[in-house]
Structure 1
Amino acid sequence: MTSAPASGTAPRPSLTQPAAPPAFPADSPAAVTAVHGPSGVAFFDFDGTLIHGDSLPMFVGEVIGRRRAALALADAIRSGLHRHVRGRGPGCDFPGSVKAIFLKRTLRGLPVAEAMAAAERMVPRIRWHQPMLEVLKDHCRQGRRVVVATGALDLYMPALLRGLGVADLLATGMEVVDGTLTGRLSTANCVRRDKAERVTAWIAGNGPVAATWGYGNHPSDLPMLALMHKGEVVRIRRRSNHR
């Protein structure tokens, strides 16, 4: 756990500055330049930042069983690679293609009620990255808004964030028809540039803000971190404490 920060500053446990240059030019419409207002905002990635590992395979494991989920993910990786080599991947990049295939094969036809029940079963299994959880709580104590921006699904994230004081969630949406998942996304996959664009739009729609902090992992969150007044890369140590 980190020590209490000085007034007006954010804690810095095991973090480093982004090594890459800003993803957007300073004069780009997507760049956050001067902002004004009484309140700051802290943006947090989720997987590999606030928690250990990836929450999506865990969620699918709660839905169809862990062994079947692991086999489905391995098959999605193989299928995604073959499709991407032929230029027919369903996602904008290889990871996006794997995710699209994985979700379609495992969640199509799932009632939303069952998805919500699976989300609740996940809650006690999450391995929190305790230092970053303390950073989030410290931002809340200092009166800043906290927003989680993640490629994880909006199906289960509200259950996992319950009680943490998160003001808003930017996540990947799943399409629902008549109370059942179609297996397709209803939003862009909220990672990399898509995440940066969602964060930019959030600031434009909810500002003005006094300052922005961002926390994410390398390299997928660099476009978001480049938008921040203070963006930092999180590296989770293997023996880090967790909840």
Structure 2
Amino acid sequence: METSPLSDPAPRTRLTPPLLPTLSPDSPVSGPAAAAPPVCGPSGVAFFDFDGTLIHGDSLPMFVGEVIGRRRAALALADAIRSAMHRHVRGRGPGCDFPGSVKAIYLKRTLRGLPVADALAAAERMIPRVRWHQPMLEVLKEHRRQGRRVVVATGALDLYMPALLRGLEVDDLLATGMEVVDGKLTGRLSTANCVRLDKAERVTAWIAGNGPVAATWGYGNHPSDLPMLALMHKGEVIRIRRRSNRR
């Protein structure tokens, strides 16, 4: 099944590069376009967010929909949002922030007890449902043609991301891990949620462990990827336009 390509490219906001590998939430993230240093060979690395950057929308509800059904997944997400709001009012949110709490509640209520084999089968079923953002796919492929390494850094789950990235020649994946006990998901995370500052820390550690890196490019959406993009020599905020004439 073919995905629906976009005919018009997404708007991009170029970010002013700080010195690497400084990690600060207050790093500058707007300003004039900055030319990336010339790079030869694989010493350059391009980091891509996934949801809302390489694809349209959020892959997690899509995955959960393949596990428990789309209607139940939508109802579970709405219930997780309500529950997170009530818990945060009482100061008892399970995540470090409101989106993190919604995610923690959603995962626990929908994936707890799921056999890993069933999760992997659901990942295969969701492949044809993904709506790729074609302009950014071309950017990814161009980095590969230039001999640069490509890393996907995403808050999406490591359960399904390998299946979705199959064939894209991605060198590494930084994703959110799920805890597994006796071949079943517990509904809890096994890593930090790979978003915002946690994602930036993962990217910083990757650069430190896989250097030397002559230049870095980053692509993500606003506001969750700004900490990661602030680390790059050249970072761009991607905003996917919604089309009113979808097929």
TM-score band, normalised by shorter chain: 0.7 to 0.9
Q: Kindly tell me: are residues 158 and 42 of structure 1, through their superposed partners in 2, closer, same or farther at Cα, counting changes over 3 Å?
A: same
2:23 is matched with: 30
- d(CA) in 2 for partners of 1:41 and 1:240? 35
Please give the root-mean-square deviation of Cα atoms over the aligned residues, in Å: 2.5
- Cα contact 2:19–2:231 (8 A) shared by 1: no
Question: What secondary structure is seen at the aligned counterpart in 2 of 1:220?
Answer: coil
Sort the Cα spacing of 1:128 and 1:241 in 2 relative to 1 into closer, same or farther, 3 A.
farther
1:16 Cα deviation from its structure 2 partner: 1.2
Q: Which residue of 1 aligns with 2:31?
A: none
In the other structure, the counterpart of 1:233 is 237
The one-letter code matched in structure 1 to 2:23 is A
Equivalence for 1:16: 13
Q: Does the 8 Å CA contact 1:129/1:241 hold for their aligned counterparts?
A: no
- Percent sequence identity is 85
Inter-partner Cα distance in structure 2 for 1:198 and 1:241: 38
Are 2:182 and 1:178 aligned? yes
Instruction: For structure 2, list consecutive stretches of 5 or more residues without a partner in the other structure.
Output: 28-36
TM-score by length of 2: 0.86
- In structure 1, stretches of 5+ residues that fail to align are 3-11
Structure 2 SS opposite 1:17: strand
TM-score, normalised via structure 1 length: 0.87
**Residue 130 in structure 1 maps to residue 99 in structure 2:** no
> Does residue 1:162 correspond to 2:166, yes or no?
yes
> What residue number does 1:72 align with?
76
Q: Shift of the alpha carbon at 1:27?
A: 8.8
1:27/1:140 CA distance change after superposition, 3 Å: closer
The ranges of structure 1 where at least 4 consecutive aligned residues each deviate by more than 2 angstroms after the TM superposition are 25-32, 35-38, 239-242
Q: Which residue identity lines up with residue 203 of structure 2 in the other structure?
A: V
CA contact (8 A) 2:21 2:231 kept: no
Match of 1:5 in 2: none
